Amino acid sequence: MPITPLSGATERPVPRWALRLARSLPFVVLPHCLWRLPFAFDFTMGTVDPAAPPMPWWAPGYVVGLSLFTEALALLCVGLVSGWGEVVPGWVPLIGGRRVAPLAAVVPATLGGLGLVALWNTLPLAWFDLLGFHEVAFSNGWWKLLARVCIGPVMLWGPIVLALTYAYYRRRRPAWVPGSGV
């Protein structure tokens, strides 16, 4: 069956676990995006930092934009399990309707996944001190718990992207032909 970019169908079947992970990824990062929004309007969410400067005028646009960009990147990972990750949609100028070279998706997704792992899974340990940051203090334990619950799931983003990339690579690699020696 020929695949069309918007049909959602893929050339080879997508593992059920990959479909579930890809569809859940935007919801995995959503709590972090929502946690970030009140800071744009100078609501500190229980953080205590007497040396914190006042929010600049451009903070609301930056924080809202960062949250939308984060969600867009999470939604882009759905392409690793969709037909539009194999054939560029026809409405895209110049390249619409062409097949996506597997490495054109695998390389950026792998680099992105590794970058997310490096950022979210090592940041609290080593990078904080090196970059001049310090652990944020909270006015009480409930705010700290809420922060951990909202921010914690984003640490799964990198490993999920790497798992989806591996499934995409396995599905898109050339089929093995017996006796070919490859």
Burial class (CB in 10 A: 0-12, 13-18, 19+), 66: middle
Is the residue at 4 inside a domain?
no
Is the residue at 101 inside a domain?
yes
Answer for the pair 90, 3: CB distance below 8 angstroms, yes or no. Answer: no
Is it the case that residue 51 has pLDDT exceeding 80?
A: no
Two structure tokens written together for 13: 């079947």
Return the higher-pLDDT residue of 132 and 98. Answer: 98
From CA 109, how far away is CA 115, in angstroms rounded?
10
The answer to which of 121-125, 150-154, 168-172 has the lowest mean pLDDT is 121-125
**Closest of 38, 30, 26 to residue 151, by C-alpha:** 30
pLDDT bucket at 118, cuts 50 / 70 / 90 = confident
Mean pLDDT of 85-113: 92
Is the residue at 97 inside a domain?
yes
Specify the long-range contacts of residues 117-122, CB closer than 8 Å, at least 24 apart: 117/158, 117/159, 117/162, 118/158, 119/158, 120/154, 120/155, 120/157, 120/158, 121/155, 121/158
pLDDT bucket at 49, cuts 50 / 70 / 90 = confident
Is it the case that residue 8 has pLDDT exceeding 70?
A: no
Is it the case that residue 158 has pLDDT exceeding 90?
A: yes
Is it the case that residue 73 has pLDDT exceeding 60?
A: yes
From CA 40, how far away is CA 154, in angstroms rounded?
19
Is the residue at 11 inside a domain?
no
Most confident of 47-51, 57-61, 171-175: 57-61
* Number of domains making up the chain: 1
Predicted model pTM: 0.83
Answer for the pair 22, 77: CB distance below 8 angstroms, yes or no. Answer: yes
Is the residue at 148 inside a domain?
yes
Q: How much is the pLDDT for 174?
A: 81
Q: How much is the pLDDT for 5?
A: 41
Is the residue at 6 inside a domain?
no
Can you give the residue range of the structural domain that contains 148? Answer: 16-172
* % of residues, the chain, pLDDT over 90: 57
Mean pLDDT of 159-180: 86
